[in-house]
Structure 1
Amino acid sequence: MSTATDSAPTPRHYDALVATLPRLEGRTFAITGCTSGTGLVLAQTCGRLGARIVMLNRPSARADRALSTLREAGLDATLVPCDLQRFAGVHEAAALLAQACPEGIDVLVNNAGVMGLPDQATTDGYDVQMQTNHLSHFLLTSLVWPLLEQAARVHGEARVVNHSSGARRGEALRADHLAAMGGKLGGDGFPGWDKWRRYQQSKLANLLFTYALHEQALAARPGCGVKVLCAHPGPTDSGLQGKTSHAGGTRLLDRLILWRTLRVAQAVEDGALGMLRAGCEPGVESGAFYGPVGRGLPGPAELLPPERDAAAERLLWEASLAAAGVSDFFTATQRLAA
C-alpha cells in the first residue's frame, strides 16, 4: 500500500516490488533514521509484512510521532534512543538494543544520514557528516554484531544493510575526512563545494564499509551467516533536502544541487526499494549493492556492478576502527558487558 501524498511524486515501482517480498513474522528489523523519508517507508513496509520494528532515532517529537504512526497502524514497533553524533550515544543505544532484542536482530539497517551541513565537529572531534553517516554506524554494527549472529543461528541468516547515495561518486576516499579533524575540512566559504565533498566522502564510506565488512566477516567469522549489503535510493523526494536548507544550505550552489536533485526526484516509496531488496528479498548475496541505474527519472532498484577499491577499503577499515575505539570489530559482547 502506497504512502504517497498529493504533493509528492507518485510511486511507480513500489507496489510491484513489495508484492514479491516474503512475510517477515518472527524477524526483527533495527533501523536508524526512520522518523521520515525512506527510513520510515522501510519501517512501515517491513512492519506490514509482519516484522518487529526497532526504531533507532534521536530523541525528538518527530521520533515520537513516527513511533505513534506505526503503532496506530497496528504494527509491532519499539523506539530505542540513538544519537549518532555521539559515540557515547551509540554505546547507550547498543546496550538498550541488547536488552530489547534478547532473541537477536535479523536485519540492521544503517539508514540515518545528514547532508550538506556546515564544517562542524562533533563532541568526539569528527566531521558531523562523517560521524553521523558512517563512523557511528560502524561502531553500532560492531557493538550489536553478536545479536546479528544470534539471529542467524535461529533463522539461518541475518543482514546488515548500509545506505549510500549517488553522491558517493567523486573524489577517492581521503584519510583526513576519517580523522578527528571536524571543523577543519574546508570550511564553509565561497563557493561552498566543501560541504558537499564532506557529504560525498561519508556516502562513499558507506559503500566501502559494506565491502570491507563483507571481507572481514568472511575471514574472521566464516559461516556466521551474517550478510552485508548496501543500497542507494537514487534522486528521491525524501525530505532530506529541506533539512539541508534549514541547516544553512542557502548558497546558490546549494540551491542548484538541490534543484537538480528534486527535478528528477522519485517518490520516497521508490527511494526505499534498494533497502527493501537488500533487507527482505530472499537469496541475496553478501557484498551486493542495490539501487536505480542511469540518469534522469530513476527506474526500479537493480543489482549493481561492484565498485571495489581494495586500498580504500583497507584505509576505511583501519581509520574507522581507530575512530570508534575498536580493536576487534567482532568482540562486542565483552564491550557491552563491561
Structure 2
Amino acid sequence: MSAVQSVRRPCDGAVLFPDATYRCFAAVTWSMFAGTRPGRASDRQLLLLGRRGRQNVLATDGTGNTIIQTPWLRHLSPGQFGLADFVQGHNALIDYVKQTFDEQLATYSEDHTRHFLDVCIKEIKKDAADQGLPFNIEQVIATGTDLLLPSLTVTTTALAETVRCLVLHPEVQTKVHLEIDSVVGRGRLPTLDDRPNLPYFEATIREALRRKTAVPLSVAHASTTEATLNGYTLPKGTILLPGLEAFHMNPEVWGDPENFRPERFLDETGKLLPDRTLPFGGGRRECFGKTYARNSLFLFLGGMLQSFTLQQPQSEKPLTLDGLYSKNFTNQVQHITYYCTSANILLHQC
C-alpha cells in the first residue's frame, strides 16, 4: 500500500501525524456544514484532501507570498513561487465542497431543513425567485472552503504540536493523566462539561498553543490615520501585521517563554488564571473558529490521553520544540509517526 493511500506503514505499524487526524476533523466540520459524516469509504479521499489543504497553506504566507505581491511573475514562470501548489490545493478543496453541495441539492426538500447547506440552498432559490440580492453557489463554496481549510490544516497541526510538547515533557503528561483519571475516569470519554474541572489539562493546551503558535502573523490591518508607534511614524494606510508568535515568545510578558510550563496559567491554588494568549488573534478580527478549535483540541487530546501514554523511542533522533516546522501563513509541522500498542503511543520524527 502506498504512502498516499494510507496513514500507516504496514511494516512497523507507524502512523503519520497529522495525517491520521484529517478524517476526524473533516467529519466534525462536515457534520455541521452538511449534516453528514464521511464514511470509511472516504478515508483515502479525505487523506488526500488534507494533504492538498496542507499544500495550499504551505504555498503562501501571512504577507501574501511573492506571487501575490508581484503577480506578473506568473507569466515568467507559472510553476514557481508556489502558485501551482496553491492552485492545486485550493481546487481540491473547492471540488470537494462542490461535490457535497450537489449531493445535498439532489435530496433537498422545502419542507425540512437538515443542516447549514439546506439554509444556503433555500436562500439561493429564494433570491432566484424574488430577483433580490444575489446569493449563489460560488458564495456557498467559498464558505465551505473557509470552514474546511483551517479544520484540515491549523487544528490538526495544533494537535500534532501539542502531542510533541507532551512527548518532550513526560512530567506534564503524567499530571494530565492523573487529572483526567480522577475527574473523568475510564468508563466514558471526556466531554466539554468536564473542562472546568480539568484546569491543568486546559493550562497544558494553552501553553502548547502559546509555545507553538499555529498562526505566527495575525490578520492584516491598515492604519486609518497617521500614527506613532514605538518611535516610528506610520502614515495613513500603512499595512500592519500583528506578530502573534513574537508576543508569545516575549520574555517581558512571559518571563521564560522558551520553557514549556503550563503552571504559568494557574494560581497558587491550581485554578486557571485569565488567558493572555492570542493563538487566534484578538478583538473584532479574532478567528471565528476559535471556539471550535479549542473544543476540538480538548476533546480529541483528552480522549487520546485517557487511553494512551505518549513516548519517544530511545533509538530515534531526539525531538525538539524548535526548527521542525515551516513558517508560512500557518506554521506547519513536519510529519511525525507514532507506534500504537495497547499501552503506549511511541512517537518519533519521520
TM range (shorter): under 0.3
Q: Name the one with the larger helix percent.
A: 2
TM value normalised by structure 2: 0.25
TM value normalised by structure 1: 0.26
Q: Answer with 1 or 2: which has the greater Rg.
A: 2
